[in-house]
Amino acid sequence: MKTLLLMRHAKSDWSNADLGDRERPLNARGVKAAAAMARHIRANDLRPDLILCSPALRAEQTLAALFAELGSEPEVLHEEKLYLAGPATLLSLLRAHGGSAERVMVIGHNPGLQNFALDLVGKGKEEDWGELGIKFPTAALAVITFDIDSWAEAAPRRGSLASFVRPRQLV
């Protein structure tokens, strides 16, 4: 059994129009939401073995907020291809880098993460699935389980949506 945690970066700050998209930091609400999600991850024993993180500042700061709450740091791969990646790229990166990790987290961007989650899920709680199809808010977490032995076996419709948690549910 493998578990994939897909987390969209937390809410970013748009107040400085001079910053490029990759350089936007988190706003105060985003920092709080990422910390709340980290507490949820810890409380539900979902600590990842490996984290694949987009190089965008808002994703890196989401990762830092997670570490501040989780304590010990799992292996992290800062992957350039995750920046605004689509489902095919995300699946390729998961298969290439998942290795022996039982739990992999991806911190990335929409619409790629939402489309990736929807591609992977073949079953799960209808309420969560419906919510995921409508919107994947900032700092939200989709937990998808797979009855596979290797990440190389991960494929569309092979996953089960175990949960879809939005920050507003935690705060």
pTM here is 0.94
8 A C-beta contact, residue 18 and residue 51: no
Tens digits of residue pLDDT in 101-152: 999 999 999 999 999 999 999 876 666 667 788 899 999 999 999 999 999 9
CA–CA dist 102, 153 (Å, integer) = 13
Inform me whether the pLDDT recorded for 73 exceeds 90.
Answer: no
Q: Tell the burial category of 113 from Cβ atoms under 10 Å away from its Cβ (0-12, 13-18, 19+).
A: buried
- C-alpha dihedral (152, 89, 127, 69), degrees to nearest 10: 90
CA–CA dist 78, 59 (Å, integer) = 10
Tens digits of residue pLDDT in 15-70: 888 888 899 999 999 999 999 999 999 999 999 999 999 999 999 999 998 888 88
Tens digits of residue pLDDT in 91-110: 999 999 999 999 999 999 99
pLDDT value at residue 4: 98
Domains recognised in the chain with CATH numbers: 2-170 (3.40.50.1240)
pLDDT value at residue 124: 64
pLDDT value at residue 34: 94
